[in-house]
Every structure is written in structure tokens, then in C-alpha cells.
Structure 1
């Protein structure tokens, strides 16, 4: 247990290092060029999102930065012409990037690379520059620096656990998720710009973060609850922090980075921690960005309401439009784990097991009130993690192999019984449990 905690701490420190490097690089640049804090926020936001991504970055990804800059420029120009044009461009871009995963992993990576700077521009509360071309140039530089440091981190500190397991989801699942994201963002733009004025982006960001990575309708509900609770807790803590250190920029910057680093580490224990850290960091960012400290409490209260509405905008399509059942996802992930373990690819099996536990989060959250048979599979396979780690380095450990093989039969048998009782899950699970 102690070794696992130490490994998690070091992994979090290494993961957050690109954010610190990006901020440390951009701060002197902004001072020399007499820019606002917007370019630093943009770079840090892109670095955070790129670092949190489980995909392995390639040096070729840097060639996409100019393309991402053109996406940003198109959004800025269209939004300047009229909110409706910019809104439509954003919705179509994110929906297409989500649905592109149906084509293949390369298309999915391309879509995510183009969406990251677009989301980053929403998070940044100020304009990095005045003239559109100047804004585009500084935004491109910020994104490029962030991507370079993320790439360096992955080259210096990379483990197999960071690699994303190959997706086996049907193409139609990704297409429907694209439809869900389009509906969620359309609702968020409409409500946000109607109700929250210049702070409409809070609703959109909340809708995106809740819905973009939701694996099932239960996952969307859980993320929405966590984001709301986290924003509420972060608001309570952040109000005092903003009023206390708002007049001391160096202290505020140091505290902001500390809060983000702690939230980055605690996110593995619950998304609410990350939402709380982001809310607290935003409270410290307001004075740095030029907002009056006397309005901080009002801004945070409005943000909390916007977060809740944005989460609901994501939850409604996920639960009403071609919803993906949590139980079906767990059956599929369990089948993938069983097949990978039987094939002897123990490193991939560990990543499949991590994905299974993440997918089980909604059912684990209500386990005290509603026990599901799928959770017994999660428990049984999780108990094999030490043996699987042993087998990744010593594949000829007879005792570990015996324990693993003995634990697979009951899980496989119960999974087949569950599939037989629910024909809708048969197509997804049968190929993986055969043999």
C-alpha cells in the first residue's frame, strides 16, 4: 500500500511538471511583452488537459499546433461576427472530434489535439492580446510551449500504465456520443449566453468536462454530482483565499499552482477534488486577471450556478439520447480483462483493470444502497493486481499464475450467466469470454 501511494505521488509530481514548466516559461515572456495573464492561463490550461490525457504524445503532434491555431482563429473571427456563428463552429468541432473516434485511434487523437486549444481559450478569462493576428500569434506560442513540455515529460517519465488501452467500442457508440455532446453544448451555449452574460463560458466548460469523458449515463450523473460538490466546496474555501492574498500577486500565483498540484494528485480519488481545486484556483485568478476583489463572492456564486446548469446540460442528453448503461460497460470491460489475462499480456491487463475500475465508479458510489453482481467481478479482478504486476516482470511465477487462473473461472462463469440473462449485452461480451 505504501509503495502504491509513493508511486502515485511521484507520478502526480511528474504529471504536473509540464504545467509548472509552461507557467515558468510564459510568465517572463508576458512581462517582457507587456501582456496580460491570459497567455499564461491558456498555456497552463492546455498543458493540464494534455497531461491528463492518457494517450501517448508523438513529436508529430507539434505539427498540429498551427492547425489548432487556425481553429482558434476561426472560432474567434466567427464569434466576433456573431455569437451564433462562433457557437455553431464550437459545437460542430467538438462533436466531430468526438465522433471521429469511430474512424480509428488516429482520428480520435487528431480530434482531441484540435479541441484542446479551443477549450483552453474558453478557460482563459482575458484576451492574450489586442489585434486578432497578435492574439493568434501569442495563443499559438502558448499552445506550442505547453505541448513541448508535455512531450518532454512523456519522453523522460513514461510508464506502461499511461498508455490508453485500445478501444473496442462500436463505431455507433462514438457517433452517438458526438450527437450527445452537440446537444449538451448547444444547451450550454444557449442558457449560458442568455443567463450569465460575459461569464457564459462557465456553463459551456462544465457541460464539456462532464459529458466529454462520460463512459455511461451513470458516469455522467456521477461526474455531474462530483463537479457540483467540488465547486461548492471550492467556493467556500476560495472566497477567503481570494480576499486574503488577492493583493499579493506572487503569493497568489504560488498558492494557485499549489492548489492545482494538490487537486491533480487527489483527482485519482474522486473528480470532486479536481473540481474543488479548479474553483479555488479560479478565485485566485480573478484578482490577477483584473477583476475587483469585492466582486469575488458574487462571481463565485454565479459560477456555482453555472456549473450546476452546465452539468445538467451534459446529463440530459447522456441519459435520454441513446444512453449507454453502466452495467453493459462493466460487462464489456470485464470481458476484455479476462481475454487479456488469458492471452498472457499482463501489462495490458493492468490497464484494462484500471479502465474497469473507472467504469465501475458509478456503481461503487451507490454500493451501500444497491449491490450489483458486476461489482463482485471488479473486486475479484482487483485482488489480482499484485500478481499481475509480478507477472509483468516475472512471467514464470507458478504461484502467481495459479492464483490468477483460479480467480478467472468464477468471474467468467458469472459473466456468461449475466450475458445469457441479458441478450442486449451478448454481442459485446461473448467474443471476449470465448475460449
Structure 2
């Protein structure tokens, strides 16, 4: 399982650079808080603010990232003020915490920016519970947060702004709907219900550390879109926490909060969070758990009993999330997956159409952005199908169908990439056979995406020429071969999708 983190593809070494930049940005933010004379608690708050800014802000452009980062204090400072003011009022504090949780999940409907602001608001409330912050600490905590965000932003947008050299992929929108039909609305209700269950059970376990159960609910719901996805995420969170607690008992407790070795290990955990997050939620949570243990060591409260309580609270949160997604407005894996697959199939057609227009000589046609969008969509499809292809899934027939769908969509993507590459050939020119083949692809896409559409019928051989004006037979035949493969994959895709 750990091998997956290190052997997973890292195009452009983005995960490596993201982890290294996070260590630099967060380290600089914490150092700045220390030089400014802030207390240890304020420095920890500043470091967490910098981590969240670097981790959660994922807009497609650098300008968008800068705007979202600038808006983080707008979401965080009022929540910080409310959380500290309600420190001595448990009932009001709990109600506001649940409201922030629900609003944070609901904010995902506004895309990456809403997601980032929701995460930052929730975690700001969470960290005040972690630090047991009181109203008298508010000015210092606000100053530390603003300073840390400024320093980490200087690293991200000034010292190491590597996104400027990348072409951002189109960000797909989540499946749409209105009212309770919208996934984000249903999940906001689910998360609030799960948070209430976790909060109550967590307080029965500990009146001091109950917030870990609510935090577990939050991070289980983040970046999930269906019942199966959340159940798998809960299992992975518990597994990552178990591993992190075991390592924390061996590493963090013997350190007794020693400054230098703790700082080095926290930096390693920060790198691990950013490096593992895109490929393994389990190992990301492992790094988070070890880091939390080290921070508790710095604060002088770490003990074996505290680590055991951390594990118990996480289990309570995972159980609350599981009950909520099964019993409260469930969002089925099938509904979510079906929406993403149909979106991907329509994008396949758009890619083929752009390539055909390019081959026909249209100066405005460019399949490259569509291909990038298709890659992003396939990532969402894989994420939504993850519960069905999980090794522990007992649904063998559905697992086989899900794997078949993924394989065929990968075939479609491969053919589309090849077609786009050929369309960029300056020798390519109009070939009427390509238009006919693209028309058949359009029919196949229509059959797959229309409600109750019929099955895809076999087409005549794509190599059978009609009138052709191609001056480069090799280019025309290559394009036809890719279209033929695309049409065949779409035809085979009808079988598992109909089932």
C-alpha cells in the first residue's frame, strides 16, 4: 500500500514540488510568527493557516488562487472570533460548530473557491478547540493567521510560483440539480447530522477532546460525492489513524516535545501530507495523525491515553458519517457515477468533433483544451467508481462492470489523444470519411447519454472510403483508425452502462 505512494505517476514532479513548497511556505510562516514574538499556540495557529492555504486553494489559474487566498481571512476571522467568544458556552459553541460544518460542505456548490473557503472556516473553528483558545487570545491569533497567510502567499505566488508554466486543465462542474436534488445540499444535511451524532458521542468519550470526532466527520465528507465514496473514505481514515497512532506512540511520545527533532518530523509530515494526498487518502491521514501527535507533544499534553482517545474519537466520527449517509438523504454511488460517466462520454464526442474540424481546416478548432477536460473528468469518474472497485467491495458483479467501464473510458481517452495529435499535423486535410466516422461517433454518444437511448449498432467499416480529398493518405488513415477504435469502445461501453 505504501509502495503506491512512491511509484504513482508524478507528471512534472508536481507532487514533489507541492510537498517541498509546502514545507518551505509553512516553515517560513511559523518562523515569521516566532520572530514576531507570538506564543507557541499562536505559531501553531499560523502554521495551520498556512498549511490550509497551500493545501485547499486549487483554482485553475494563479490569479484565481491569489483571489481565493485573499478571501480566506474573510471566512476565517469571523469564525475565529465566534469560536473564542463561545469558549465558555458549550451549547452555543456546539450549535455554531455544526452550522459552520454544514455551511462549509454546502459551499462546495461554488466550485474550488467555495470548497477552499468552507474548509478554512471549519478548520479555523476546529483549531480553536485544539488550542483551547479563549477570548483574550483573539488579537494574537488573528495577527498570527494574517502574518502566516502573507508569508506563505509570498512563497506560493512569488518565490515558487510554478503554476505559471503549466496549462491548467478545465475544471468540470459537479452533477447539477436543485434543492435537495443537488448533491452538495444533500451532503450538507448529511454532514450536519453526522456531526451532531459525532459531537454527542465524542463528548461522552471526552469533554476535552470531543472535537476530533467532528473533525473526522468533516474530512470524511471532503471531496466525496456518494454513499459508497464516504464509506470507503471512513474506512481509510480509520486505517490511516491507526497507523499514525502506532507510529506516534513510538516516535512522538519519547521526544517529549523536544524542539528541533519535533520541528524536523513535523516538516516531514507536512511533506507527506502534500505528497500523498493526490494518490492515497490513507497515507495522507497517517501523516496528519503523526503531525497532530507531534504538535500535542510541543504543547506538553501528549500521552498514550491521548493517542488512544484520538483513535476512539476518529472511530466515532467515521461511524456517525456512515450512519448519516445511509439513513439521511442518501446519494447513491450509481447516480453519481452515471452522471460523471455521461459527462465524460459527451466530452469524448467534443474532443472528436474538435479534431475533425481541425482536420477539415478550421482555424479556430483546437482539441487540446477538450482533451485536458477529459483527463479531469476521467479523474472524477475514477473517484466515483473507487468504492465499487475497492478490494473490500463484496459486490463482485458490479466491481467487474466498474472495471470494464474504466478500461473502456481509458480506451476512448487514448484514441482521442491520438486523434488530437494527428489533427495537429500540418499536412492533414479534409477527408469526407472522417466526417462520416465522426457522425457515427455522435450517434454512439447520443445512444449512451440519452435517457432510455437504444443500443449502439455496428457501423460500416471506417476504412470504406466515400469521396475523399485527403492529400496525405497516412494522416487520413491514422485518423480513421483512431475514430474506428473510439467508435468500437463506445459501442462496447453501452453494455455495462445499460446494466
Separation in structure 1 between the aligned mates of residue 308 and residue 286 of structure 2, nearest angstrom: 14
Q: Among 144, 157, 167, which residue is 1:138 paired with?
A: 144
- 1:430 paired residue number: none
Report SS of the residue matched to 1:88. helix
Contact 1:340-1:349 within 8 A present in 2 as well:
yes
Higher mean C-alpha displacement, 395-404 vs 63-72: 395-404
In the other structure, the counterpart of 2:376 is 351
Whether contact under 8 Å (1:96, 1:178) holds in the other structure is yes
Cα displacement (A) at 1:367:
5.3
Q: Which of 366, 369, 387 is residue 362 of structure 1 equivalent to?
A: 387
Radius of gyration: which is bigger? 2
Give runs of aligned pairs for residues 256-405 of structure 1, distance below 5 A. Answer: 256-291=266-301, 295-344=302-351, 345-365=370-390, 366=392, 370-372=396-398, 373-390=401-418, 395-396=423-424, 398=479, 399-405=481-487
Alpha-carbon deviations, 1:123-145, whole Å to 9, x = none? 47436895322222222333444
Contact preservation (8 Å) 1:330, 1:360: yes
Deviations along 1:349-399, one digit per CA (max 9) or x if unpaired, are 111001100111111114575231233111221344445555565545624
After superposition, the Cα gap between the structure-2 partners of 1:199 and 1:146, relative to the gap in structure 1 and judged at 3 Å, is farther
RMSD: 3.1
Judging changes above 3 Å, is the alpha-carbon distance between structure 1 residues 18 and 204 closer, same or farther for their aligned structure 2 residues? farther
Give the direction of change, closer, same or farther, for the CA distance of 1:80–1:263 in structure 2 (3 Å limit). closer
Q: In terms of mean alpha carbon deviation, does 295-304 or 388-397 score higher?
A: 388-397
1:111–1:215: structure 2 CA closer, same or farther, 3 Å change rule? closer
1:122 and 2:126 matched: yes
Distance 1:281 1:199 in 2: 16
* C-alpha displacement of 1:288: 1.6
Gaps of 5+ in 2: 352-369, 425-477
Unaligned runs of 5+ in 1: 419-435
- Residue matched to 1:55: 59
Displacement of 1:323 in angstroms is 0.7
Change (3 A) 1:176 1:243: closer
Change (3 A) 1:83 1:149: farther
User: Relative to 1, partners in 2 of residues 1:16 and 1:341: Cα closer, same or farther, differing over 3 Å?
Assistant: same
Query: What secondary structure does 2:303 align onto?
Result: helix
User: Does residue 191 of structure 2 align to residue 190 of structure 1?
Assistant: no
What's 1:411 paired with? Answer: 493
Higher normalized helix content (fraction of residues): 1
1:432 alignment partner in structure 2: none
Alignment match, 2:15: 12
* Superimposed CA distance per residue, residues 293-352 of structure 1 (whole angstroms, 9 cap, x where no aligned partner): xx5211111100000001112221111111111122221111111100111121111110
Could you tell which deviates more after superposition, 280-289 or 320-329? 280-289
Counterparts in 2 of 1:134 and 1:284: CA distance versus 1, 3 Å: closer
Are residues 163 and 179 of structure 1, via their aligned partners in 2, closer, same or farther at CA, if it must alter by over 3 Å? same
- Separation in 1 of the partners of 2:284 and 2:242? 12
Q: Distance in 2 between matches of 1:161 and 1:207?
A: 31
Q: 1:49 to 1:136 in 2, by over 3 A?
A: closer
TM-score (norm. length: structure 1): 0.83
Q: CA deviation at 1:206?
A: 0.4
Q: Answer yes or no: is 1:25 the counterpart of 2:31.
A: no
Q: What is the total number of aligned residue pairs between the two structures?
A: 410
- Normalising by structure 2, what TM-score? 0.73
Cα distance in 2 for residues equivalent to 1:75 and 1:167: 32
Q: What's 2:444 paired with?
A: none
The whole-number CA distance in structure 2 between the counterparts of 1:374 and 1:6 is 22
1:424 is matched with none
Partners of 2:161 and 2:279 in 1: how far apart? 26
